[in-house]
Structure 1
Amino acid sequence: MNISDNTENDVQDAKDVVRRFYDALETRRTQTLPDVMAEFCADNLLWRGFSPFDEIVGPQAVAEKFWQPLRRSLTRLQRRMDIFFGAKNRHDPDGDPWVCSMGHLMGLFDAPWLGILPTGKIVFLRYAAFHKVRDGKIVETAMYFDVPHLMMQAGLRPFPTQTAAELVQPGPRTHDGLLFEAQPLDAGAKTLAAIEAMITDLGQWNSGMPLEEELARTWHDDMIWWGPTGIGATYTIERYAKQHSGPFRAAFGERSKTKHVCRMAEGHYGGFFGWPNFTAVPTGGFMGMPATGKAGEFRVIDIYRRDGDKLSENWIFIDLLHFWKMQGVDILARTTDIAAGEATC
């Protein structure tokens, strides 16, 4: 196994910190969560979350603003991880290890959350998170979660019907995404190279070749693109081109260069996030909404599975609530206000 001892030890230690943190978040009492955050996170923790949370600084503030309200609303909360890996971050000059996980937070929706009325039934909050670990403490977190997907499980319709499929999304087809043990460095290098080749093609938006031919350079034909609620999931290069990539490119102009806070890979899995990843101006219809001509930010997490030399599956988290708020539409407030009004009729 071709692994540097120092890299392996740093990454494995970071994974251990995050796994113990997750266990404490799930098993300890709700009122003790500020103590849990203080135990595992640095005093100056920088936490980035999707709208309406945005940036929060400090472990106590994160516990009070995010974790405690969530635990009180989604009772008996449990984390159901599908992917877990760690590596050094290509964009982090400090050289600290990062750890990524993805899956769902499942609970019984017993009390309102963000103005969304409870159902008393099981709900899944789809999430992905990146954690930077230094000296045994989490110093940065990006935790992105699909609030519109939870809204739909509560009977709300935050967006018009979209081009792809809306569903509870599974983990990898291969069921091998939990990389608790160290992986060969050459496997992670191949995954990162595949991701970066795809980014190079994607960043052009005009490669001079048909879209499906461009996608085939870095994707398997039976690729699966597990997109966020409001866009949906799609299967095969042909349907991805028709149901997302083509319409998305047609809907935007003035796309900025891509910037990532973290980009990394371990084994056959890798991913990245930005804050934002890029900006673009809606010049055509997008998600059933008219063009605004206003630049909008795309805060995105992408998680990938590589098969051979190409990418096979991709899980995507996009802060569509933030994007539309920048366009002057507060989707969360509008949808929950309508639901509250109907509930009182």
Structure 2
Amino acid sequence: MDYQEQELTAAKKTVLSHQRHIDTAPNLALADALSIETSANCKFQFTAPFAEGIGAEDAVTNFWNTLRNSFSPLQRRPDIFFAGFNHLSDEPGVWVVSMGHLLGLFDQPFLGMRPTRQSTMLRYAEFNHVVDGKITESTTFLDVLNLMAQVRAEALPPSTAAMMVTPGPRTHDGLLYAGQPASEGQKTLKLFLRMIGRLLAEDVHTTNTDLSLDWTDDMIWWGPGGIGAPYTQGRYLEQHCIPFEEGLKWGDFFGHRTEFAEGHYGGFFGWPTFDVTSLGGYIGLAPKSEKKATMRVVDLYRRQGEKLAENWNFIDHLHFLEQLGVDLVARQRMLTGLD
């Protein structure tokens, strides 16, 4: 095992330990649990409406207390787990991503949604930056609109594609706890960067030709709440690309916080990734506006041979809508009278 492989393995162990401490800690000991594997000034970022913070106490106050109050007991059910070095920078450390669902009994109101007293799956993606054995930066995306669709929240209109509990990879091999050949990760990184480069060169205008170059015919785009999961190239164009391009005018690309790959899996997130101008009608919620609004985005990919076969996408839609004067959580609370 060479030095880089050792570093990847150590970072994975740190994140797995971190998750175990969170998942097994009682509520009153949660801040202590979060502090074990994180640095004292660890930067925690959460999708809207949860505030960012510095250190374990902020993370508990801003995010975990609310989540645990509504859903218990929480069970982490990951579908994808891999690590890599940031392609964009020579910064020290390793990035580790975990994606899947948090399972819990929805027994108390959450962001104005009525509790169902049933098992509920909260879709998440979490990126942790490990430097010298400590997590120094942690970003969590929670797909609140997907949850709203599951529980039939009153404030959410129908989506263009199917909404469901998002499965993991078709191949059931997304948990890369063991090391992978570096050459395979390089192939994955090169492929999705080529696809992104082509998309940006055309101001995010997607055609059948573009898709045929980079994607399998039976691709599936596991999209966020508000859009859903289009299956096959044709339905991806119809149910995501066209509504996105007709509802939003492309603006500026700000880049990604990190880009990395391991084995057949790779991806990135941006905070924010780009901005757009709303032309009205996007996901049935965005009003027409002259204001540029930013989007925070996650994309995780599975490569199959020489093409991409699956894509798990998260968009912080609540944050995007807030910038346009649409507070979906406040609207939901008004409709139900619940916190």
Say whether the fold is shared (TM-score over 0.5): yes
| Alpha-carbon displacement from aligned partner over 1:281-317 (angstroms, at most 9, x marks no partner) | 1124312244222211110111110001111000111
CA distance in 1, matches of 2:147, 2:5: 37
Q: 2:308 maps to which residue?
A: 311
Of 220, 225, 247, the residue aligned with 1:224 is 220
Q: CA contact under 8 A between 1:223 and 1:236: conserved in structure 2? A: yes
Q: 2:197 maps to which residue?
A: 200
Q: 2:64 maps to which residue?
A: 67
| Alpha-carbon displacement from aligned partner over 1:43-62 (angstroms, at most 9, x marks no partner) | 11111110011421111110
CA distance in 2, matches of 1:121, 1:276: 34
CA distance in 2, matches of 1:97, 1:206: 31
What is the CA-CA distance between 1:204 and the residue it aligns to?
2.6
Task: Give 2:167's aligned amino acid.
Answer: P
What is the CA-CA distance between 1:207 and the residue it aligns to?
8.5
Q: Secondary structure at the match of 1:277?
A: strand
Aligned positions, number? 338
What is the CA-CA distance between 1:230 and the residue it aligns to?
0.4
1:103 aligned to 2:100? yes
The 10-residue stretch of structure 1 (25-34 or 125-134) with the greater mean CA deviation from structure 2: 25-34
CA distance in 2, matches of 1:95, 1:144: 23
Q: Secondary structure at the match of 2:148?
A: helix
What's the RMSD between the two structures over aligned residues?
1.7
Q: 1:146 maps to which residue?
A: 143
TM-score (norm 1): 0.94
Q: 1:178 maps to which residue?
A: 175
Task: Give 2:27's aligned amino acid.
Answer: T
CA distance in 1, matches of 2:168, 2:203: 32
CA distance in 2, matches of 1:40, 1:205: 42
The 10-residue stretch of structure 1 (143-152 or 64-73) with the greater mean CA deviation from structure 2: 64-73
Alpha carbons of structure 1 residues 58 and 206: separation in structure 2 relative to 1, 3 Å = closer
Of 24, 27, 30, the residue aligned with 1:30 is 27
Of 164, 168, 186, the residue aligned with 2:165 is 168
Alpha carbons of structure 1 residues 212 and 157: separation in structure 2 relative to 1, 3 Å = farther
TM-score (norm 2): 0.95
Q: CA contact under 8 A between 2:147 and 2:225: conserved in structure 1? A: no
Task: Give 2:163's aligned amino acid.
Answer: E
Of 214, 230, 238, the residue aligned with 1:234 is 230
What is the CA-CA distance between 1:258 and the residue it aligns to?
4.4
CA distance in 1, matches of 2:106, 2:248: 37
What is the CA-CA distance between 1:23 and the residue it aligns to?
1.1
Q: 1:285 maps to which residue?
A: 281
Q: 2:12 maps to which residue?
A: 15
Alpha carbons of structure 1 residues 204 and 252: separation in structure 2 relative to 1, 3 Å = farther
Q: CA contact under 8 A between 1:211 and 1:246: conserved in structure 2? A: no
| Alpha-carbon displacement from aligned partner over 1:307-328 (angstroms, at most 9, x marks no partner) | 0111100011101001011000
- Segments of structure 1 that go 5 or more residues without pairing to the other structure are none
CA distance in 2, matches of 1:121, 1:252: 36
4+ aligned runs moved over 3 Å, structure 1:
205-208
What is the CA-CA distance between 1:206 and the residue it aligns to?
5.3
Q: Secondary structure at the match of 1:214?
A: helix
Q: CA contact under 8 A between 2:82 and 2:175: conserved in structure 1? A: yes
Task: Give 1:238's aligned amino acid.
Answer: G
1:91 aligned to 2:88? yes
Q: Secondary structure at the match of 1:152?
A: helix
Q: 1:78 maps to which residue?
A: 75
The 10-residue stretch of structure 1 (146-155 or 163-172) with the greater mean CA deviation from structure 2: 146-155
CA distance in 2, matches of 1:283, 1:214: 24
| Alpha-carbon displacement from aligned partner over 1:14-48 (angstroms, at most 9, x marks no partner) | 00011111111111211111001111111111111
1:260-299 alignment, distance < 5 Å = 260-289=256-285, 290-299=287-296
1:50-65 alignment, distance < 5 Å = 50-65=47-62
Alpha carbons of structure 1 residues 207 and 162: separation in structure 2 relative to 1, 3 Å = closer
Q: CA contact under 8 A between 2:149 and 2:163: conserved in structure 1? A: no
Alpha carbons of structure 1 residues 207 and 292: separation in structure 2 relative to 1, 3 Å = closer
Q: 1:214 maps to which residue?
A: 210
